[in-house]
Amino acid sequence: MAVVDHLGWAVRSIDASRSHFETVLGLDFRGEEDFPGLRVAFFGAGPASIELLQPLDAKSSIGSFVAERGEGIHHVALRVDDVAAALADAGRHGLRLIDNAPRQGARGTRIGYVDPGRADGVLIQYVQGP
């Protein structure tokens, strides 16, 4: 069974967005990581958090998302026991696999993305560990 782990929220700038999430929404800053072409920051405690995604490369998937759709919800992350099994199950249910195998995610996790093929365009990310 999966539970919501976090919401991935694409932004143009984490620095420019930070006060909204900390001050206006009252979510505590939990840390930041850099990946090739991507900067991420986590806000909030409890069963689900917000992951801000700032593209560092306009041609990256997040850069394209922001250019085409603007800032907003990019994905819903579901915590699962086994990302590989969740990806295989999603494929059997007709979801389009973006990742065919798990890959390294933020905070020491393993992740995998699928596209549910819905008009709302919100991706599903499976998250496993730590």
**Cα torsion at 99, 91, 70, 128 (round to 10°)?**
-60
Residue 2 confidence (pLDDT): 81
Residue 123 confidence (pLDDT): 95
Look at residue 76 and give its three-state secondary structure. strand
Residue 46 confidence (pLDDT): 73
In angstroms, the CA 110 to CA 104 distance is 5
Residue 80 confidence (pLDDT): 96
User: What's the angle, vertex CA 47, arms to CA 69 and CA 100, rounded to 5?
Assistant: 55
pTM of the model: 0.90
Determine the longest span between alpha carbons in the chain, in angstroms: 43
Q: Which domains occur in the chain, in start order? A: 3-128 (3.10.180.10)
Residue 128 confidence (pLDDT): 96
In angstroms, the CA 102 to CA 87 distance is 8
Residue 95 confidence (pLDDT): 93
In angstroms, the CA 102 to CA 2 distance is 16
For residue 53, report the phi and psi dihedrals to the nearest 5 degrees: -120, 110
Residue 100 confidence (pLDDT): 95
Place of tokens 């390294």: 104
Residue by residue, pLDDT tens for the chain (130 residues) are: 789 999 999 999 999 999 999 999 999 999 999 999 999 999 998 778 999 999 999 999 999 999 999 999 999 999 999 999 999 999 999 999 999 999 999 999 999 999 988 888 899 999 998 8
